[in-house]
Structure 1
Amino acid sequence: MFEQHITPRFSETDALGHINNTVVPVWFEQARRPVFKLFTPDLDPGKWRLIIARIEVDFVGELHYGTDVVIRTSVDNVGNTSFRVAQEVWQQGKVRVKGLATLVHYDYQTQRSKPIPDYIREQLAQHRSE
C-alpha cells in the first residue's frame, strides 16, 4: 500500500467550506504516481505505458479545509492487460472518500492494450489490498 499526505488548499474549497468534489479525482491521480513509476520509472510522458479506462468515486463523508488528508492506494485486482487500483481518502481518522481506477497497459504506437510483464505483475502484487 502507498500513502500520500496532502494539505488541502483554500482554493480547493466550495462555497460551503468543504473540499470540492472535483478535487478528489486529481488527488487520486497524484497518489497513483508510485504505481505509474512501476511502468515508467522516470515518468517520461514519451515512454508512458498506461491509460485510464474507468474511475469511480464514492463520497462517504465530508472533507474539510484546514486538516491534512492521507490517501491510501493499493492494487485491488490484476488481469492480463489491466489492473484496478483502490484508493481511500482519510481525514481525522475516518474514511471520507473511496475510489477505484482501472488502468490499462497500453502501446501507443499500435493503439492496443498489451499484457502486463511478469516483473511488473510481481511488483503490483506487493501492493495488493489486504
Structure 2
Amino acid sequence: MISETIKPRFLETDALGHINNTVVPGWFEGARDPVFRWFTPDLDVKRWRLILARFDVSFHGELYYEYPVELRCYIGRIGNSSFDVYQEAWQHGEKCASGTSVLVHFDHQRKASIPIPEDIRQLMLQHLYPGEAR
C-alpha cells in the first residue's frame, strides 16, 4: 500500500458543508504519483508512458474540511499491458470514498499498448490490494 495524508482545503467544500464530490478524483490522481514514477521517474510528460483508460469513484460517506484525509493506493489487477489502481479515502477511521483507475502502459509514438516491464511488475506486486474483490 502507498499512503499519504492530506489536509482538505476550504475551497474544496460545497454548499452542503462537505468536500465536493468532484474533488476526490483529483486527490486520487495526485496520490497515484508514486505509481507514475515507476514508469517515468522524473514525471517528464515528454517521456510519459501511461494512459488512463477508465476510472470510477464510489462515495461511502461524507468528507469534511476540518480533518485530515488518508489516501490509500493499491494495485488491484496486473495484466499484460494494463493494470488497476484501487484507491480509498479515509477520514476518522472510516472509508469515505473508493475508486479504481485502469492505466495502460503505452507507446505514444506507435499509438499502441506495450507490455509492463518485469521490474515494474515486481514493484506492483509489493502493493497488491489485500482485501476481497471490490
Scaled by the length of structure 2, the TM-score of the pair is 0.96
Which residue is 1:7 aligned to?
Answer: 7
Which residue is 2:47 aligned to?
Answer: 47
Instruction: Tell me whether 1:92 sits opposite 2:92 in the alignment.
Output: yes
1:4 deviation in Å?
A: 1.4
4+ long deviations beyond 6 Å: none
Scaled by the length of structure 1, the TM-score of the pair is 0.98
1:58 alignment partner, SS class: strand
1:7 deviation in Å?
A: 0.4
Aligned residue identity for 1:50: L
1:11 alignment partner, SS class: helix
Cα distance in structure 2, aligned partners of 1:55 and 1:98 = 11
1:34 deviation in Å?
A: 0.4
Q: Structure 1: where are the runs of 5+ without partners?
A: none
Which residue is 2:77 aligned to?
Answer: 77
Once the two structures are superposed, what CA deviation does each residue of 1:77-118 show, in whole Å capped at 9, x if it has no partner? 000000001100000110000100000000000111111011
Aligned residue identity for 2:30: Q
Cα RMSD of the aligned pairs, angstroms, is 0.5
2:127 alignment partner, SS class: coil
Instruction: Tell me whether 1:114 sits opposite 2:114 in the alignment.
Output: yes
Instruction: Tell me whether 1:29 sits opposite 2:29 in the alignment.
Output: yes
Q: Structure 2: where are the runs of 5+ without partners?
A: none
1:22 deviation in Å?
A: 0.3
Which residue is 2:60 aligned to?
Answer: 60
Cα distance in structure 2, aligned partners of 1:17 and 1:29 = 23
Aligned residue identity for 1:97: A
Cα distance in structure 1, aligned partners of 2:94 and 2:2 = 17
Cα distance in structure 2, aligned partners of 1:104 and 1:25 = 18
Aligned residue-pair number: 130
Cα distance in structure 2, aligned partners of 1:75 and 1:53 = 15
